[in-house]
Structure 1
């Protein structure tokens, strides 16, 4: 008799989700919540493996920007203050709908590169999702300076990570290569905005879509019925 080479059962089939995201992107936090809700409603939610990838919306930002989020967006987008405030009110309301408490008045505008390096360290130590959550919350809800290394080390310590090792690694320039590789990969894939989700390398979803969009995509990919990418 021939050896049994049956394919894995539906219960055993794993689905990989690669997420390109910036911790300074308000829609990325909203998208994270909606994606998580979509996964929760997916029949095989326990088989979804998430891989976070770095992306920078504005690499030119200084480590610490001397101005508010409204002032920064007004300058960057060339919009009037009133229009910017309407945008921020809209995204705040969308965030609230996902249980998030955005505080743009106290948000510290900062370059996200060092925070993304800290995220890379956390990923390599099994705490990527926890660190992603902590960084997004620190930036959008808690008014913490995510461009400040000491603040980032404190967040890492709260997750039980080795802050002495992380401090040494950051000083040596570690994890910059990995962050830049993610950014380059996004460019190669034609990703120009985040959040961007790639399910099993087959199905791409751009933006903070409703939870049911993610659930439906996971179901389609799992069943092998992929309609688009």
Structure 2
């Protein structure tokens, strides 16, 4: 790829309680490193958007992740256990260490509000990483205000400001706007990556698929569709 100063915007719809979203994050980061190493010297702006996979989940779910998925997906517990073992193995392949035994399943709405607060402070990417790690690797609760404020403080955000944002619902409308845009795009599952408002990549795909779309965005810069157009979707290959 020849050098270019083209700037690219990548919008990512994602949920905290989504194991594939964390895996997809790592695979996209791998792709971005390859893309830049191939000669891209522009800027890739990344913004995360809210999506709830299970909005009916209580904040304090009584039971294990196996219990939740068995009920939510209507699958036998042993099948769920096999599925989680497979996801854990895939996560390990990208350097993540999932601990489903310690995981505390919860409603993620407030976590999404926290991500919008962090965005207002220029720290959304750091907050996203911290939330995913806390949830999947450390067994921390990411649904209660007190726990979320602690995580915000860990990355250097003001504790009192974070608490105010969550307790007042200051960013609730931003979360709802993300949900509405997901519906407009026809997004039914996450992660979902939208590149330059034109190309959609569904799922935690191989880094090569992300590289291909980023290269295509550069090549087609002069003929980009308008921001309101629905993105052309690259199907999930997993």
Q: TM-score range by the shorter chain?
A: over 0.9
Match of 1:13 in 2: 6
Contact 2:3 2:41 in 1 (8 A): no
Distance in structure 2 (CA, Å) of the matches to 1:171 and 1:77:
32
- Map of 2:16 onto structure 1: 23
Are the counterparts in 1 of residues 4 and 40 from structure 2 also a CA contact under 8 Å?
yes
Instruction: Work out the CA distance in 2 between the residues paired with 1:55 and 1:64.
Output: 19
In the alignment, the residues of structure 2 paired with residue 60 and residue 40 of structure 1 have an alpha-carbon distance, to the nearest angstrom, of 37
State how far apart, in whole Å, the 2-side matches of 1:184 and 1:224 are. Answer: 27
Could you tell me how far apart the structure 2 residues matched to 1:44 and 1:155 are? 34
Structure 2 matches for 1:114-129, cutoff 5 A? 114-129=110-125
Cross-structure match for 1:163: 159
Does structure 2 retain, via aligned residues, the 8 Å contact 1:39–1:45? no
1:36 is aligned to 2:29:
yes
Unaligned runs of 5+ in 2: 225-231, 234-238
Which residue does the alignment assign to 2:228? Answer: none
Point out where structure 1 has 5 or more consecutive residues left out of the alignment. Answer: 1-8
Query: Greater shift after overlay, 37-46 or 126-135?
Result: 37-46
Specify the alignment match of 1:68 in structure 2. 64
Match of 1:41, SS state, is helix
Does 1:176 pair with 2:144? no
Residue correspondences, number: 220
C-alpha distance in structure 2 between counterparts of 1:68 and 1:88, whole Å: 12
Change beyond 3 A, Cα 1:213–1:190: same
State the 1:210 CA deviation.
0.5
1:4 corresponds in structure 2 to none
Q: Which has the higher contact order (CA 8 A, sep 6+)?
A: 1
Q: Distance in 2 between matches of 1:22 and 1:134?
A: 13
In the alignment, which residue of structure 2 is the partner of 1:3?
none
> How far is the alpha carbon of 1:15 from its aligned partner?
0.4
Secondary structure at the counterpart of residue 16 of structure 2 = coil
d(CA) in 2 for partners of 1:26, 1:47: 28
Partner residue of 2:98? Answer: 102
Q: Give the structure-2-normalised TM-score.
A: 0.89
1:143 correspondence with 2:139: yes
